[in-house]
Amino acid sequence: MSEISTSLPNYITFEPLEKITSLLQNRQVAVLVDENTKRDCYPILKKSLAKSSLPNPTLIEIPSGETHKTLETCIHIWQELTQNHFDRKGILLNLGGGVIGDMGGFCASTYKRGIDFIQIPTTLLSQVDASVGGKLGIDFNGLKNHIGLFQTPFKVWIHTPFLKTLPSYEVRSGFAEVIKHTLIADKKAWQNLSQINKSNFDTQNWTSIVAHSVALKAKVTEADPTEKGLRKILNFGHTIGHAIESYFIEENKKQSELPTFLHGEAIALGMIAESYYSAFLCKDKFPNQNFISQTDFQDIKEYISSIFENTITDFRKAIEQKNTLQEIVRWAKHDKKNAQNLILTCGLEEIGKAVYDISITEEEILECLMQI
């Protein structure tokens, strides 16, 4: 990785986990886990906490998965805090992936008008993405992240050894966000990134990769904390990727033989499609703006395809069904970021530099999908 051009925000740390105890003295401590992080991550945290004379924390367990990122689960968390008499000095440690972090942070920010919380992200996605930018929330009536707020955590404690127990498909899915941060914000790092491939994936120094990616995201979110402008470049790959993700989640309920794609896998597919849009379709459409070359597109496609080979095979097989691509396009029309009946997306001006709020038509989305 190239040098981090910005320092990390002061609330994010990679210090040894046992140092966390200095922030927990003389206050009630609760740890939020799901069944997986209770089994794989809590023993590591507990060992670090045991190095001080702190009393055992209150353990709050919820079931894993996006389907539980709901108000019902929040009620359980608030009830546990209440029954254990947590006062406003209490602190919640959110030990888990993005679901635990988003929901635990939301519950802490609203309990007694807000208690401190520390994010301890344990998936690659939550370390490089959810850890930065202060977005918290839950799903509501089937709408993703519909209820929530922006709130900076007291600390984000990143400990990459947690990734050792994370299933490899989850690590790969999180890696899509690492690729994205590089493509939108760091040309130099893109050249180094290609040294990370399928065969050496498990032996990477994740701390330096995560720290670099976090710094890139922080640079963007600090310039635009509430997503009025620049921050939208973080949606690169998401207009088409999110449509793919949503279509297959819904369709799989009706036809269980169809695949579903993890968020990062869908974004990887979306990044190929939106890179094609930048290189092939935007040049004529927006003549006053620069866009990546066709060679850049080939490089991007080749690299993403090398990491997400199986995802691409599954996608190509699934779209053999009649009308699938047209249905995915329909999902893109529902994207939250659209405005005034236009479908809005991001493009790559060059590798390491993105543009946002560029319009894309349904026909263009269809053409881009065919390039995956």
Ligand X SMILES: NC(=O)c1ccc[n+]([C@@H]2O[C@H](COP(=O)([O-])OP(=O)(O)OC[C@H]3O[C@@H](n4cnc5c(N)ncnc54)[C@H](O)[C@@H]3O)[C@@H](O)[C@H]2O)c1
- Contact positions toward ligand X, by CB under 6 A? 34, 36-37, 40-41, 64-66, 69, 96-100, 102, 122-123, 125-126, 129-130, 133, 135, 145, 162, 165-166, 170
**Closer residue to ligand X, CB minimum distance, 221 or 278:** 221
Active site residue 235: yes
Active site residue 257: no
Per annotation, catalytic residue among 80, 238, 274, 301: 238
**What is the closest distance, in whole angstroms, from the C-beta atom of residue 73 to ligand X in the complex?**
12
Output the residue with the shortest Cβ distance to ligand X. Answer: 98
Active site residue 68: no
Per annotation, catalytic residue among 217, 219, 232, 301: 217
Active site residue 327: no
Per annotation, catalytic residue among 69, 181, 263, 301: 263
Active site residue 177: yes
**What is the closest distance, in whole angstroms, from the C-beta atom of residue 179 to ligand X in the complex?**
14
Per annotation, catalytic residue among 80, 177, 251, 364: 177
CB-based contact 121:36 (threshold 8 Å): no
Report how far residue 178's alpha carbon sits from residue 195's, in angstroms, rounded to the nearest whole number. Answer: 14
**What is the closest distance, in whole angstroms, from the C-beta atom of residue 18 to ligand X in the complex?**
18
Active site residue 113: yes
**What is the closest distance, in whole angstroms, from the C-beta atom of residue 121 to ligand X in the complex?**
7
Active site residue 135: yes
**Closer residue to ligand X, CB minimum distance, 80 or 139:** 139
Active site residue 263: yes
**What is the closest distance, in whole angstroms, from the C-beta atom of residue 357 to ligand X in the complex?**
20
**Active-site residue list:** 113, 135, 177, 217, 227, 231, 235, 238, 242, 263
